[in-house]
């Protein structure tokens, strides 16, 4: 037997089976304390099974909190580049911080795909695709929905001032409510109150006490909806103040089911995590590409009319 020939054949077989290299990708997201990212993580992990089966790896990187958001995101981008990844899936929340780091990654040949925020940066980054909701369009839908249900003055709560996706959401609420004949009052709270249920609830309660014409609240995260619900409950204002939110959770859906919350806007984070991870890896490994861009995963309004199917998804950790 020709040992050299046998080894060469084995090497060639391995090359065909796994590709010239094992494609490694990083998925970068929000705060480890933000429950939204647990749902998105399930999508990343489920797609990761396919990635691992084809010889690649996925590194899921989250910022510690939102106090130093832009610089922390840059640190994670640079960390992924230093690890030698072939692709990065990431939202663009703070363009002035993130764009130079992402463009530098592109210069090194790293493929970028966007999800959750930053669809308008696709062309500048030469991004593979975008998976997520159109934040402004979702906001318009939410503002118009509450206004058409009878809310005349809607408070839109921003938990991280300056975050482009959140600002876009509230601008959409403003415009959607105005289209339906209502007004919107935007409240930007300090970022250190993010995930602070008690502090946020007290702040929202103060707003409701200070202006009893507010008859609708829309929050931009499920946890903030919990805080708003507490404020409304403590004031005995359930009959006066409608409550809506971006994103779903078991508590949000439970309130919708019981009639204590009007609606939730679902952007389907599971799909955002799954699709951005799976398609980025497949492009690197197999050269495939989805022709449709961007790929919108929302908005979808969940209310009493379709609550049952949403509850089933939450029970499985995917909504």
d(CA 265, CA 302) in angstroms, rounded, equals 6
Same domain, 80 and 152: no
**140: which 2 tokens?**
């318009």
**287: which 2 tokens?**
């050269």
Would 177 be classed as within a structural domain? Answer: yes
Predicted pLDDT of residue 319: 79
Would 42 be classed as within a structural domain? Answer: yes
Predicted pLDDT of residue 18: 37
C-alpha torsion 163→164→170→174, nearest 10:
140
Q: Which tens digit of pLDDT belongs to each residue from 255-284?
A: 999 999 999 999 999 999 999 999 999 999
Would 14 be classed as within a structural domain? Answer: no
Q: Which residue is listed with tokens 């809506």?
A: 244
Predicted pLDDT of residue 21: 58
Query: pLDDT over 70 for what percent of the chain?
Result: 93
**206: which 2 tokens?**
């103060």
Banded pLDDT at 6 (limits 50, 70, 90): very low
Q: Which tens digit of pLDDT belongs to each residue from 152-211?
A: 999 999 999 988 889 999 999 999 999 999 999 999 999 889 999 999 999 999 999 999
Banded pLDDT at 318 (limits 50, 70, 90): confident
Strand 57-63 relative to strand 24-31, pairing: parallel
Would 288 be classed as within a structural domain? Answer: yes
Same domain, 261 and 143: yes
State mean pLDDT over 71-86.
97
Q: What is the CATH number of the domain that holds 179?
A: 3.40.50.2300
Predicted pLDDT of residue 7: 35
Q: Of 206, 187, 195, which is closest to residue 38 (Cα–Cα)? A: 195
Count of domains for the chain = 2
> Which uninterrupted H or E stretch holds 99?
helix 95-107
Predicted pLDDT of residue 165: 87
Same domain, 79 and 177: no
- pLDDT of 98 above 60: yes
Question: 10 Å Cβ neighbour count for 172?
Answer: 24
Q: Alpha carbon of 274 to those of 4, 42, 73: distances in Å?
A: 43, 8, 21
Same domain, 128 and 212: no
Would 11 be classed as within a structural domain? Answer: no
Q: Compute φ and ψ for 194, nearest 5 degrees.
A: -60, 130
Predicted pLDDT of residue 14: 33
Same domain, 149 and 202: yes
Predicted pLDDT of residue 164: 86
- pLDDT of 2 above 80: no
Q: Of 238, 217, 203, 115, which is closest to residue 173 (Cα–Cα)? A: 217
Banded pLDDT at 50 (limits 50, 70, 90): very high
- pLDDT of 8 above 80: no
Same domain, 167 and 258: yes
Same domain, 71 and 111: yes
d(CA 58, CA 309) in angstroms, rounded, equals 30
Would 316 be classed as within a structural domain? Answer: no
- pLDDT of 17 above 90: no
Would 13 be classed as within a structural domain? Answer: no
Same domain, 238 and 279: no
Check: CB of residue 63 under 8 Å from CB of residue 32.
yes
58 — alpha (psi -120 to 50), left (phi > 0) or beta? Answer: beta
Same domain, 79 and 109: yes
Same domain, 237 and 127: no
Same domain, 223 and 180: yes
Would 127 be classed as within a structural domain? Answer: yes
The pLDDT mean for the chain works out to: 91
**318: which 2 tokens?**
């995917």
State mean pLDDT over 77-83.
97
State mean pLDDT over 80-99.
97
Strand 300-302 relative to strand 263-266, pairing: antiparallel
Q: Which tens digit of pLDDT belongs to each residue from 204-258?
A: 999 999 999 999 999 999 999 999 999 999 999 999 999 999 998 889 999 999 9
d(CA 271, CA 275) in angstroms, rounded, equals 6
Same domain, 50 and 152: no
**174: which 2 tokens?**
């403003």
Predicted pLDDT of residue 149: 97
pTM for the model stands at 0.79
Q: Whole domain around residue 103: which residue ranges? A: 21-133+268-297
- pLDDT of 130 above 80: yes
Q: Which tens digit of pLDDT belongs to each residue from 137-153?
A: 999 999 999 999 999 99
């Amino acid at each position: 037997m020709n040992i050299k020939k046998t080894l060469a054949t084995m090497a060639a077989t391995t090359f065909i089976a796994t590709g010239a290299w094992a494609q490694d990708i990083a998925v970068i997201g929000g705060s480890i304390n933000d429950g939204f990212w647990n749902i998105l993580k399930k999508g990343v992990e489920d797609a990761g099974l396919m990635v691992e089966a084809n010889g690649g790896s996925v590194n899921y990187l989250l910022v510690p909190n939102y106090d130093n958001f832009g610089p922390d995101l840059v640190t994670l981008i640079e960390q992924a580049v230093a690890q030698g990844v072939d692709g990065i899936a990431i939202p663009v929340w703070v363009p002035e911080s993130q764009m130079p780091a992402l463009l530098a990654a592109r210069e090194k040949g790293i493929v970028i795909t966007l999800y959750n925020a930053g669809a308008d940066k696709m062309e500048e980054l030469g991004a593979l695709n975008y998976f997520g909701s159109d934040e402004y369009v979702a906001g318009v839908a939410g503002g118009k929905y509450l206004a058409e249900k009878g809310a005349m003055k809607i408070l839109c709560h921003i938990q991280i001032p300056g975050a482009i996706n959140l600002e876009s959401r509230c601008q959409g609420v403003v415009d959607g409510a105005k289209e339906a004949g209502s007004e919107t009052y935007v409240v930007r709270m300090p970022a250190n109150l993010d995930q602070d249920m008690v502090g946020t609830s007290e702040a929202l309660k103060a707003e409701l006490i200070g202006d009893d014409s507010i008859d609708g609240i829309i929050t931009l995260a499920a946890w903030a909806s919990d805080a708003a619900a507490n404020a409304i409950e403590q004031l005995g204002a359930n009959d006066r103040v409608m409550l809506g939110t971006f994103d779903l959770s078991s508590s949000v859906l439970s309130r919708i089911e019981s009639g204590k919350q009007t609606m939730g806007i679902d952007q389907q984070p599971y799909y955002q995590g799954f699709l951005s991870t799976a398609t980025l890896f497949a492009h690197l490994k197999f050269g495939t590409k989805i022709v449709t861009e961007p790929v919108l995963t929302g908005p979808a309004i969940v209310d009493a009319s379709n609550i049952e199917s949403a509850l089933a998804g939450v029970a499985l950790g995917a909504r």
